[in-house]
């Protein structure tokens, strides 16, 4: 077990019916909001990354096209990978702060109030 003296398994599943929580509208909404952001975003950045990799791998001449001075398409697309990574990071953080954290905190408090004996112990009765 873990960080605390050996204890009988708290068996949180017995005290809290997680399947019931899973069926609540609030939880379904949280799951929907989470997945509807992270899945499309993951698909998008992977497609964009592999499009870039394939261009760098198979379209050397296109990547070598000069844009201004000695800076070519390849350098710009490469730097855009950095820009998009930073942008998605900031976008996700702002989305999570606004749309995910409030519901998650709300659900967490409700559960902790409903079954303090399960969740107050920091070891959380895993298993």
Closest approach of another protein to the CB of residue 25, in Å: 14
Q: What is the DSSP string of 15-84?
A: HS-HHHHHHSHHHHHHHHHHHHHHHHHHHHHHHHHHHHHHHHHH-HHHHT-EEETTEEHHHHHHHHHHHH
**Of residues 19 and 25, the one with the C-beta less far from another protein:** 19
Rounded to whole angstroms, how far apart are CA atoms 103 and 100? Answer: 6
Closest approach of another protein to the CB of residue 98, in Å: 13
Whether residue 38 contacts residue 100, with contact meaning beta carbons closer than 8 Å, is answered with: no
Phi, psi of 71 (to 5 degrees): -90, 125
Closest approach of another protein to the CB of residue 68, in Å: 7
Q: Look-up: residue for tokens 């995910």?
A: 100
Q: Applying CB under 8 A, which residues contact another protein?
A: 1-6, 12-13, 17-19, 21-22, 27, 30-31, 34-35, 37-38, 41-42, 45-46, 49-50, 52-54, 56-58, 60, 63-64, 68-72, 74-75, 78, 81-82, 85-86, 88-89, 92-93, 96, 101, 104, 107-108, 111-112, 118-119, 122-126
C-alpha R_g of the chain = 23
Q: Look-up: residue for tokens 């077990």?
A: 1
Closest approach of another protein to the CB of residue 32, in Å: 11
């Amino acid at each position: 077990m873990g960080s605390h003296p050996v204890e009988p398994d708290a068996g949180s599943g017995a005290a809290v019916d997680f399947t019931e929580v899973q069926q609540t509208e609030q939880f379904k909404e949280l799951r929907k909001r989470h997945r509807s952001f992270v899945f499309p975003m993951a698909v998008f950045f992977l497609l964009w990354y592999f499009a870039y990799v394939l261009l760098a791998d198979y379209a050397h001449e296109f990547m070598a096209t000069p844009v201004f001075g000695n800076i070519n398409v390849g350098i710009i697309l490469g730097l855009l990978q950095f820009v998009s990574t930073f942008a998605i990071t900031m976008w996700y953080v702002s989305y999570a702060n606004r749309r995910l954290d409030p519901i998650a905190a709300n659900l967490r408090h409700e559960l902790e109030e409903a079954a303090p004996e399960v969740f107050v112990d920091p070891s959380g009765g895993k298993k």
